[in-house]
Amino acid sequence: MNILQDQFDQDQDMSDYITFAHGLYIGGKWRPASDGRVIEVVDPSTEAVIAAVPDATLGDAADAVEAAAAAAEAWRGTPPRRRSEILRRCFELMTERAETLAALISLENGKTLRDARGEVAYAAEFFRWYAEEAVRISGEYNLAPSGANRIVVDYQPIGICVLITPWNFPAAMATRKIAPALAAGCTVILKPASETPLTAYALAALYEEAGVPPGVVNVITTSDPGPLTAAMLADARVRKLSFTGSTGIGRLLLAEAAKHVISCSMELGGNAPFIVFDDADLEAALDGAMIAKMRNAGEACTAANRLYVQAGIHDAFAEGLRRRMAALRVGPGTEADTECGPMISRKAVAKIDRLVQDAVTRGAKVLCGGEAPADRGFFYPPTVLADVPSDSEMAHEEIFGPVAPISRFENEAEAIARANDTEYGLAAYIYTRDLAKGMRVASRIESGMIALNRGLMSDPAAPFGGVKQSGLGREGGQKHGIAEFMEAKYIAVTI
């Protein structure tokens, strides 16, 4: 806890962040839930309650929509350069307070300080990127094929946006949505995960300081998101839903949005294959596997979930990964030397252990880890499994934890077939020294994103998103991300 308090002392008092006194952030004002209820926030390292935040009611959600609607016309009419300057200031403030924000993320999420610092840098970059894109929104002007008229296409803000974000990246998943929405001229209501709400409220205060007008960004927390989300989507003024989370919840939200014909962007579950060919650079592949698997202790939708290693390099890769995973220091994320923090909840640990035990029952070999400790805190040890059968549950279900299941393959065709044997299609990783082979395989993998000889793919300048059951739409990128928050208006003109 000392590292957290020390860092907050450098910036501002910790109570400014870890409190429910600020409450819901609606229309630029902080307030409690209308019925006074709160949600307790738990430190996953100790299971201790560290804060309480308001548990919003249907009335609070309606007020958030009203505030976003009241601010919409003025924000829409704000010159792009001014919007750009505000977004740039958000980036600068996040960068200045990176250590404070990283400490807060580590406390409520459990991720290591190293990972939390990386998240803050990544999250802030969306503001810088969309500060630059805000002034580059352009339309189209063409002659109709008939020659009878001109075709003018104007891109306008889509309207009020409901943004729902998960607990695993409480800063980045919010800014990846908020930054393009604000750049486009939209107002938003953010509903962060109830497990990690403190970061969202800390950032709301930062946005206000950066000059974001009241009502442009509203933040509400709830323990029962279904009814509140349904009520907001039923309001005719809400025109966009952007969700990051599980495929199951995504399907429910799509059904709800369909009732009102609301535009949806969905970044859903993943089941990423990590393919290592015999001709791969072994050490580079191991480096990449540690990043792809252990970023945020495996609690990432892009995490390597199925490691397919060609027979000739399999044993050396498995042993190398075992050594690296077994050497990781497990502990509270807020401790400087921790390399693998806790999971988000006891339920998450139980799920991981269930998947591991199922694989072992079906014949997988435990090379390291594989057993949940009985100590306090939501910890699971870094685990490597070999000879994981294709009928195991973890071959078809997101692990969301520090477990690396390795399977052997013989040839390229088999690797592609096994990689595509999933309903998901978010991310994939390929390691080979043969660039032509790498590109050939990448073209046949059913995935929205491919990392070729890299363990990390996320970049604000690149479109992030998946195919199949991994979602709809894209976030980030030169045009893709901002286009999700705009409508094309066609005007036929005779000159």
User: Catalytic residue positions?
Assistant: 267, 301
Backbone angles phi, psi at 158, to 5 degrees: -70, -25
438 CB-near residues (< 8 Å, 6+ apart): 430, 432, 452, 453
